[in-house]
Structure formats: C-alpha cells, structure tokens
Amino acid sequence: MDFSRVPLDAGEQEFLDEVRSFMTEHVTDEVLEEERRTGSGFNERLHLALAERGWVMPTWPPERGGAGLDPVRARILELEMRRAGVPSITQGTTRLVLVAVEKFGRPDLTAELLPGVAAGTVRFCLGYTEPDGGSDIAAAKTRAVRDGDEWVINGSKIFTTGAQNCQYAFLITRTDPELPKHRGLTMFLVPLASRGVEIQAIRTYGGERTNIVYYSDVRISDRYRLGGVNDGWSVLHGPLDEEHGVGREGSAKLADLAIGTSFLQTLGRAIDSALAWAFTTTRADGSRPIDDRMVRYRLGAVAMHMEAGLVTPGPMGRVKGSDALVRGAADLMDLIGPSSLLSEGSPGADSNGAIEYAHRFAQGTATYGGTVEVFHGIIAQHVLGLPRPSYPGSKTLVSRKREQAAA
Amino acid sequence: MDRFELRYADYSLSGDQEAVRDAFHEFFAKECPAERVRAAEPLGYDERLWRQLADMGGASMGLPESAGGGGAGLVDLLLVAEEAGAVLAPVPFAEHAAASRALAGSPGAPAELVTDVAEGRQVLALAMEPIGAAGHQLVRQLVPGGAVARSVLALDGDTLVVVHADEPPPLAPNQGSTPLAWWDLGGGRRQDLASGPEALARYRVARAEWKLLTAAALVGLTERALGIAVEFARTRETMGVPIGSLQGVAFPLADVAIGISGARNLVWRAGWMLEHEPSEARRLVPAAFAYAAQVATHGATTSAHMQGGLGFTVEADASLYFLRAKGWSLLAGDPAEDVIAVADALAADADATAGADAIAGTETLAAAGG
C-alpha cells in the first residue's frame, strides 16, 4: 500500500518542466475556447504537435513514432494533459480501438496504420450504437455482406463521437442474421472517406458534438476486417473490457483506479468554483457563505462523494463517478442559487461557468461508454454472481427458439 | 490539494498484511458464528471471545513493541476491524485499539495499566467528546465500550486523562447491542497522561483512529449483510425465476456493492494518510467515516429489505446487521459533523488564511488528524 507523491529525479523533473512549457505554448486560451464552442473533443493542431514529440503514443519506442516514455514519465504527461485541459475524446477512442487493431489486424494493415496513429494522422472512432439499439450493442443490425474480396455495408450508427475528426470507424456489423445475436457479428475498420459514408452532427446539451453516421452501400476491402467472420464479439472484448474497467482492480500503481476519474475532474473544478464563491460572496447580513454550517455541510457532502468516486474500482467506479458528478453538480447549482444558472461570461456568473457546465455535462456520463444500468447488470452478474436475467431477446431464448423450430 | 498530483495509487496488501487478514478471518469465522453474537446480547460483549482475541495478540498488536505490543500499523488494525465487523464480533476492538495506542507512549502512562491493557486484562474505552473545552462542559457521556471498561481515556481541557471506576457502570441498553454506558467523567479516580499540544494531538489521533476502525468494521458489516442478501436472491424464486435475476432486486444490491468497494479503499487511503501525511488525512478521515456510515445504513437496509418480510424478523441474521449498522455509526455523534469537517479541510486547503479564519470559531475535534 502506497499513496505517496512520486519522488522525481532530476531527469523526471526536467521532463515535467518540458511538458508544462509545451502545454503553456500549445493549449492556449484559443484552443480551450474553441473546444468549449465546438465540443469536438479534439484539436488537430494540438494533436499533431503532441505527435511530433511522440506523445500520442508516448510509451512506444521512438522508432515506432513514440517517445519511449517510462511509466513515470507517461503518467506525468497524462496528468499534465488533464491539468491543461487537452481535448482528448478522440485520443481515447483511438487508443481503445488500437487494442483490437494490433491484435486482430492483418500485418499489412497494421504496418500501414500504426505509424499513422503515432504520427497523429490516423484516428479511430467507435461505431457501436445504433439508433434503435441503445446499449444493447450485440443487437447490431447494420449489415455487412460479402461480395468477392469486398464487403458491402448498409446501416447507421449513432453517437459516433469524433467521426468528423477520424479516418476509420471501428464498426460492429451483422454478417449472419441466422446465428444467435452474439455470434453473427463481424468487426471492421471502415475508412470514413469511403463513398456512401455520411456524417451528420448531433449536439448534446452537455456542449459536446457527436454524430450519426449513415453507411449506404459502402464497399470496403476484406483487408479491413478485424478477426474472423462472425467472430466480432471476441474482437470487441478487449476494447470493451478496457472501457468497462474489467480487470483494472489492483492494476499498475500509477494508473487511475477508477474509470470514473475523468468525470470527477469536472466535478473537482465545480467544487473549486463553489469554494471560491463561498469565500468571496458577501451576503445581505455581511456574512460569507463559507461561514455557514449548512453551506459547508453541502460542500462537504459533494466532496465526500467525489473522494469516494476517485477510489471506487472497476465497473463500480464507472457508476460511482457518474453518480457523484450528476448529483454533485445539481447540488452545487442549488447551493449557489440563481447566479449558478448564468452562462460563462455573463455578468455575475461564477468564475468560469464550471458548475453550470458540469451540471449539463454530467448527464452524458450516465450513458456513454455503456449506461449505468448496463454496469449495474455487469456488477450484479460478474461481481456479485447473481443469476443472469432471462429476457425474450437474450441468446438463451434465441437458441431455444431455434431448437424448437428445428424440432 | 493538487488534483493532478503525481502519486502512487497502490492498494495492494503486503504479504504480512495478507497473513494478518487471513489469520483473523479464520479466527472470527471459526469462533464467532451468529449464535455467539446473539448469545452476547444485549451487552454486546463476549468475555471469552475477547480473551481469545487477546491471546492472538488482537488487544496489543497496535501497541509499540516497547509497550509489549506487536508494533502493527493502523492499516493492519483496519484489516482486523473489517474482519471483526463482518461477523459482528462482540468485542470492543476499535475503542480498545485506539485508546490504548494513545495511552502507550504518553508521558504519564501508568506502567501497570499499559501492561493490563496490552494483555487485554482490562478494556480501555474512549470518551468521544472532550470533557471540558472553552465554553462547555460535557462530564456525563455515553461511552462506547464503557459498559465493559473500568478505565476511560478522555480529554479534559488540554489534559489527556484516564478516568477509573471500581466497576464498569451499568449497560445503557441500545439498538446496536453495543456495550454503551453513561460515565461521569468529572468524578472518580483519574490520572493525567499528557498535557498541552501533545495531549490534544494524541486525543485527535485516537478519535481519528477510532473512526477509521469503526468505518472498517462497518465495511465488513455491510459486505457480509450484502452476502446474505445475495445468497437469498440467488436461491429464492418468484414467477419461476430467481429473484436475483430481476433488475428490481439485482440493481439495488449492485448499488450496495458499489458503496462497499469505494468505502473500503477510502478507509485504507485515509488510514495510510493518517500515518504518513496528516494534512491529507484531515480531509480523508472524515470523508471515509461519513461515507462508510452512509454505505452501512443504506447497505444494511437494502440487504434486509431484499429478503422481504423474512429480513424484517429477528430470526433473520440480516436483522443483526441492520441494527448494528446504525448502532455503530452514531457512537461518535452525527456523521454530518464529519461531512462538515471535509469542507473545513477543503476550505483550509483552498485558502490557508481565509480558510483558517472561516473555521476558527467552529472547528471541532471531528476534523481529526490535523
């Protein structure tokens, strides 16, 4: 057990200074303002500048386009990127997909793409959810039909965040509708520049941009297939487990324990903003909010749940992180009152609109990456060992139906 | 506090710590079935179990070797407290461990008392509120463990004292069947242990350690209560399916699991900080205690409720867990004071000068560890 500050040697300190001056130079107010305005989760100039230092794939060796960082330096970079507020959604999805590309991509495909990933020019987004499918991604209906050495893809995917900034979508398709639902799936890396791909923007009230992507008779070469035909579910497993925090418990001593950590950074900024309000506001009776025990109780409660979220492991941490943010941001709004409703830049708004933003942003965290209900199911079955529910559409019943049909 | 600070996040136990946990797990599993918990009611004290625990070193493990102890750290004690909590062991482990650590090493500690306490011949209890401080007197107090102790560690003004009685005062029967008793801490024979800043510091640490040990016990309690409910939900059927397959049952139980996993890590982190970085502990100790108290109240309620009417009967072991979840978490006062202490610590961090001014008038000893 060890929660101490990591002592830095001279070289590591120098690296930290280098990272901080990079962030000061490249993560400008303009970059942050652009991100607030577009909700893009990505900034190409910044991404390419990171890539130039090998910091898109920082632990890869320099000959592969990385920076060959050791775990301490890689963690320094990660934390300083967060501190600076580097838009990182697309970097995150690219890394998730990379797990499957490296494992299941053909040698010629990986040889082509991996250097591009490190160079910042190749980026991946997630083509999982369908407009009428929600979190049940194994129910995918988007069809891929073989035609010689090509596949023809038809269907649509929603919430493909970052599609406008990516070159490939990691697409889950139905290749055999006759098989039980988890078995007739195949994964592809679909070039988004292909004819028949149409990307339409969707805005959220969290300020983010995401997309619906239509695939109409999109023809792609078989070389973009990842893993076996109808074996897509096992290809998807690596990235999904990573996203769901499975196997994270007790992992590397420097990594975030909780997959809800990124949500909680938004809450942390909101708490800091509320604290500043509590110190600097003067009430009609001349007192400051921070002198009021009720105010401190409410601030303390939000902070307590944040501390709990930061140390809640695995799939539990995903739910706790979202829950602490959703409830905490709403409570901080109430605490501050009508001025908390004011948009950033409006006269009398809190210092940086952090609370108003957090309350809107929070709602998405309960959904993306799998809803908190999906995670409750994961916890119930895989952590508590409760029996699987039996739904009419679950694979047990599908196969039973098939047996009945056969008999 | 820097939210982006480079720190280790290593929650793993050492080989020695695993051995401690496993040994006490086996001990409590073997020696403390639910019948023994019931047999110890309403006092909540099984003297033979206490003797057995002391023979294993459980009474003295947290004392320095110079005081006849095992030299264990707080985290080791937290592991034992969680195991004791899981079986609702009717022994005053948290009070005794926290109070005796403050006693040993105090300049005025009577050698005979240290020996008795280390060997478990005497239970040492801990008064949760200062007897006297500027502007108030709190002589008559409900003391946890006080119904089985002849000595209580307390703070009087800026003096750490131990107050003695010839016999423990009578039990104050209570919801959690714990050995609570009213003590008149103003009278009786007393000995001064330390004074000034040292006395204050020792008392604060004792309270903080008691809170963490109790929080760890609550984590153990909640996990076992959940285990009982999960077992029930796996086997009980309705409409032809196990009730645990229904989201209306499974999801509330998952919520309990979410709380437990975070509370345990928060307690460990706070315990580690109390020993290594008191400035962090100032925020984390009250957060860990208040969170564990909430998780226990919610978890024991949910776990009993998921067993329907059966979980509401006194025959059900779930009832033992439900009654102690509240019965243990209120012994040091309203956990909301700890929630406020979290904000006090944040305020002090955010603006050292303004923060100190803001909380100077209201700071309580609940903000322990600092």
At A156, which CATH number? 2.40.110.10
- Report whether B225 contacts B325 (CB < 8 A): yes
Q: Of A3, A254, A309, which is closest to B273 when you measure between CB atoms?
A: A3
The predicted-structure confidence for B67-122, as pLDDT tens digits, reads as follows: 889 999 999 999 999 999 999 999 999 999 999 999 998 999 999 999 999 999 99
Q: Give SS3 for A186.
A: strand
- Residue A248: per-residue pLDDT: 45
- Label the pairing between strands B151-156 and B124-126: parallel
Q: Which residues of A are less than 8 Å from B255 in CB distance?
A: 376
> Does the beta carbon of B306 lie under 8 angstroms from any beta carbon of chain A?
no
Geometric angle at alpha carbon B214, from A323 and A327, rounded to 5°: 15
Residue B265 lies in a domain: yes
Chosen for mutation from A2, A3, A279 (greatest number of chain B CBs closer than 10 Å) is A3
Q: Give SS3 for B41.
A: coil
A281 and A226 in one domain?
Answer: no
At B242, which CATH number? 1.20.140.10
> Does the beta carbon of A225 lie under 8 angstroms from any beta carbon of chain B?
no
Q: Of B273, B339, B362, which is closest to A301 when you measure between CB atoms?
A: B339
Quick one: DSSP state of residue B7? B
CA distance A67 to A57: 7
Place of tokens 């720190």: B7
Chosen for mutation from B261, B276, B353, B359 (greatest number of chain A CBs closer than 10 Å) is B261
Q: Pick left, alpha or beta for residue A13 (phi over 0 → left; psi -120 to 50 → alpha; otherwise beta).
A: alpha
Q: How far is B48 from chain A (nearest CA, A)?
A: 34
pTM above 0.90, yes or no: yes
- Report whether A31 contacts A43 (CB < 8 A): yes
> Does the beta carbon of A270 lie under 8 angstroms from any beta carbon of chain B?
no
**Amino acid in the structure at residue A356:** E
Residue (of B220, B218, B219, B204) closest to B341 by Cα position: B204
> Does the beta carbon of A380 lie under 8 angstroms from any beta carbon of chain B?
yes
Place of tokens 């004690």: B77
pLDDT at A7 over 60: yes
Residue B266 lies in a domain: yes
Q: Of B250, B288, B339, which is closest to A297 when you measure between CB atoms?
A: B339
Residue (of A162, A21, A32, A44) closest to A85 by Cα position: A32
Q: Which residues of B are less than 8 Å from A279 in CB distance?
A: 347, 350-351, 354-355, 358
The predicted-structure confidence for A240-296, as pLDDT tens digits, reads as follows: 777 766 544 434 577 777 777 888 999 999 999 999 999 999 999 999 999 999 999
CB contact under 8 A, B251 and A387: no
CB contact under 8 A, A300 and B341: yes
Q: Which residues of A are less than 8 Å from B276 in CB distance?
A: 3-4
Name the residue range of residue A177's domain.
124-232
**Amino acid in the structure at residue B101:** R
The predicted-structure confidence for A147-170, as pLDDT tens digits, reads as follows: 999 999 999 999 999 999 999 999
Residue B161 lies in a domain: no
CB contact under 8 A, B287 and A278: no
Residue (of A157, A153, A103, A85) closest to A128 by Cα position: A157
What are the backbone angles phi and psi of residue A138, rounded to the nearest 5°? Answer: -75, -10
A324 and A267 in one domain?
Answer: yes
A128 and A210 in one domain?
Answer: yes
A132 and A60 in one domain?
Answer: no
Q: How far is A224 from chain B (nearest CA, A)?
A: 39
CB contact under 8 A, B234 and A386: yes
CB contact under 8 A, A300 and B344: yes
Q: Pick left, alpha or beta for residue A250 (phi over 0 → left; psi -120 to 50 → alpha; otherwise beta).
A: left
> Where a domain ends, among A87, A108, A137?
A87
Give me A6's structure tokens.
Answer: 């990591």
Q: Of A2, A5, A271, which is closest to B6 when you measure between CB atoms?
A: A5
Q: Which of residues 163-222 of A touch B (CB under 8 A)?
A: none
Task: Express as a percent the part of chain A with pLDDT over 90.
Answer: 80
> Does the beta carbon of B265 lie under 8 angstroms from any beta carbon of chain A?
yes
A133 and A78 in one domain?
Answer: no
CB contact under 8 A, A385 and B230: yes
Name the residue range of residue B335's domain.
201-360
> Does the beta carbon of B172 lie under 8 angstroms from any beta carbon of chain A?
no
Give me A4's structure tokens.
Answer: 């101490």
Place of tokens 């102790």: B149
Give me A79's structure tokens.
Answer: 């934390």
Q: Which of residues 193-232 of B touch A (CB under 8 A)?
A: 226, 230
CB contact under 8 A, A296 and B347: yes
> Does the beta carbon of B248 lie under 8 angstroms from any beta carbon of chain A?
no
Share the mean pLDDT of chain A: 91
CA distance A190 to A166: 11
Q: Which residues of A are less than 8 Å from B266 in CB distance?
A: 307-308, 311
Query: Domains in chain A: how many in total?
Result: 3
Residues of chain B whose pLDDT is less than 50? 353-370
CA distance A299 to A323: 16
**Amino acid in the structure at residue B204:** R
Q: Of A295, A379, A388, which is closest to B257 when you measure between CB atoms?
A: A379
Q: How far is A308 from chain B (nearest CA, A)?
A: 5
> Does the beta carbon of A391 lie under 8 angstroms from any beta carbon of chain B?
no
> Does the beta carbon of A318 lie under 8 angstroms from any beta carbon of chain B?
no
Query: Domains in chain B: how many in total?
Result: 1
Residue A376 lies in a domain: no
Geometric angle at alpha carbon A401, from A395 and A402, rounded to 5°: 90
CB contact under 8 A, B4 and A253: no
pLDDT at A189 over 70: yes
- Residue B275: per-residue pLDDT: 96
Residue A283 lies in a domain: yes
- Report whether B88 contacts B54 (CB < 8 A): no
CA distance B370 to B368: 6
| Alpha carbon A198 to chain centroid, angstroms | 23
Q: Pick left, alpha or beta for residue B205 (phi over 0 → left; psi -120 to 50 → alpha; otherwise beta).
A: alpha
CA distance A145 to B53: 69
CA distance B262 to B270: 12
At A184, the pLDDT band (50, 70, 90 cuts) reads very high
CA distance A34 to B180: 62
Residue B48 lies in a domain: no
Number of H helices, E strands in chain A: 13, 8
Output the CA torsion sign for B69, B75, B81, B87: negative
Secondary structure of A301-356 in the HEC alphabet? HHHHHHHHHHCCCHHHHHHHHHHHHHHHHHHHHHHHCHHHHCCCCCCCCCCCCHHH
Query: What are the residues whose beta carbons fall under 8 Å from the beta carbon of B335, sequence distance 6 or more?
Result: B289, B290, B293, B294, B329
A358 and A274 in one domain?
Answer: yes
Partnered with residue B35 across adjacent β-strands are: none
Q: How far is B152 from chain A (nearest CA, A)?
A: 31
Q: Of A6, A385, A386, which is closest to B7 when you measure between CB atoms?
A: A6
- Report whether B56 contacts B27 (CB < 8 A): yes
Residue A48 lies in a domain: yes
Q: How far is B349 from chain A (nearest CA, A)?
A: 10
Q: Give SS3 for A124.
A: strand
CB contact under 8 A, B268 and A1: yes
A276 and A362 in one domain?
Answer: yes
A56 and A150 in one domain?
Answer: no
> Does the beta carbon of A111 lie under 8 angstroms from any beta carbon of chain B?
no
Helices (H), chain B: 15-31, 34-39, 47-55, 74-86, 93-103, 111-118, 197-235, 247-276, 278-305, 317-329, 336-350, 352-360
CB contact under 8 A, A312 and B262: yes
CB contact under 8 A, A376 and B251: yes
